[in-house]
Amino acid sequence: MSSLAAILIVLASVAGMEFVAWASHKYIMHGFGWAWHRDHHEPHDRLLEKNDLYAVFGAGISIAMFAVGSPLVMANRAWEPGTWIGLGVLVYGIIYTLIHDGLVHQRYFRWVPKRGYAKRLVQAHKLHHATIGKEGGVSFGFVVARNPAVLKRELRAQRAKGIAVLRDAVEER
């Protein structure tokens, strides 16, 4: 496999993981997987959350893809793109950890962006946390952030339809 093909597979995997993360956040974490995700939406002073189990699951996917691409593990049946997909999933996991856990939730460092895309990411995810419970909500992605003004309108529309229960602070934002 050429170096260019490997790089393109890694980049496509990173980009594809944002869709996978969005869909799993919206339909699994805010659906049947709410038991693991709930504590992420509730105040606490613990270092770890049950929600962190989703990161362990993502790491397992990356490791499995590395194994599929490894001739040491798969002998004569190795599928080389698996290595590069595994690397893309790993890169996305690092980006997720730095942006979501680090920047947005400030679990690893303290920095509040004042402008630009970093500020938009923080605002969009704060609006995601503006609902109480698993119903409704906006901004389920982790790296792609839509306009916060549009997200606020969507939240208000959800509240008006009885889909979402909003925290009081949303009206002040």
Q: Each residue of 94-135: pLDDT tens digit?
A: 999 999 999 999 998 889 999 999 999 999 999 999 999 999
Q: How confident is the model at residue 170 (pLDDT cuts 50, 70, 90)?
A: low
pLDDT category of residue 172 using cuts at 50, 70 and 90: very low
pLDDT of residue 167: 79
Cβ atoms of 120 and 148 within 8 Å: the answer is yes
**pLDDT value at position 76?**
81
Q: State the pLDDT confidence band at 173, using cuts at 50, 70 and 90.
A: very low
pLDDT of residue 166: 85
**Per-residue pLDDT tens over the stretch 40-96:** 999 888 889 999 999 999 999 999 999 999 988 877 888 999 999 999 999 999 999
Strands (DSSP E) along the chain, which ranges?
131-132, 165-166
Please enumerate in sequence order all residues whose Cβ is within 8 A of that of 79, keeping only pairs 6 or more positions apart, or say none: 68, 69
Q: Which residues contact 99 (CB under 8 A, 6 or more apart)?
A: 121, 142, 143
Q: Identify the pLDDT of residue 20.
A: 96
Q: For residue 88, which of 5, 12, 21, 24 has the smallest C-alpha distance? A: 12
